[in-house]
Amino acid sequence: MNRLLAILATSAVLTAAGAAAQGTALAAGASQGPEGPGGVCVTGYRGVVVNEICATVSGDQVTFYGRTTPGSVGWTARTVPYRLTASVVGGASLGTITPSVLVSHSGTAVGGLTVTAPCGSTATASLETTEWGWPPATATVTVPVGC
């Protein structure tokens, strides 16, 4: 029972941290865009894997890329299917990729998608596990496109 409570507490902390990070990313992005070479990153957690999605903006080009890490120390390396979808907020879809990657015990890169978005718009992307039988693990990042 104590282990279950520890897992639930950890999940709540990571979920709150992800929400705070997304709010911080949006607040920082609204005035000056992503900072640093890594851009803006947001983490999502649902118990099986921890997904992170990042965005970098250069003019009207936005690059979204993901990373995943096992959610427990008892993880067995396996191939996991993902979906990375990008769009303009309130507008058109910018693209989708569905990579399947071998998730080992350490962090693993999950695809990358470079899109062209209209100047002055806001681009968003989500990275989601699509493993049958698992609850979805989704991370979403939103960034302004200021040319």
User: For the chain (length 147 residues), average pLDDT per consecutive 10?
Assistant: 41 40 34 48 83 94 93 88 93 92 89 92 92 83 91
Domain count along the chain: 1
Q: What is the pLDDT of residue 94?
A: 92
In the sheet that holds 61-70, the strands lie side by side as 40-45, 49-58, 61-70, 108-116
Q: What is the pLDDT of residue 48?
A: 81
- 24: domain CATH number is 2.60.40.2420
| Helix runs in 33-99, H state only | none
Q: What is the pLDDT of residue 47?
A: 67
Q: CA 84, 126, 136, 43 torsion: positive or negative?
A: positive
- Which of helix, strand or coil describes residue 34? coil
Q: What is the pLDDT of residue 33?
A: 31
Q: What is the pLDDT of residue 131?
A: 80
Give the CA distances from residue 64 to residues 6, 7, 8, 28, in Å, rounded to whole numbers and listed in that order. Answer: 32, 29, 30, 17
Please give the model's pTM, rounded to 2 decimal places: 0.70
User: Using CA atoms, how far apart are residues 2 and 25, in angstroms rounded to an integer?
Assistant: 34
Q: What is the pLDDT of residue 65?
A: 94
CA gyration radius, the chain = 16
Domain that holds residue 112: 2-144
* H-run or E-run covering 130: none
Q: What is the pLDDT of residue 85?
A: 95
Contact (Cβ atoms closer than 8 angstroms) between residue 45 and residue 14 = yes
Collect all residues with Cβ–Cβ distance below 8 Å to 65 and sequence separation of at least 6.
Answer: 53, 54, 109, 110, 111, 112, 113
Q: What is the pLDDT of residue 147?
A: 81
Query: Left if phi > 0, otherwise alpha if psi is -120 to 50, otherwise beta: which for 115?
Result: beta
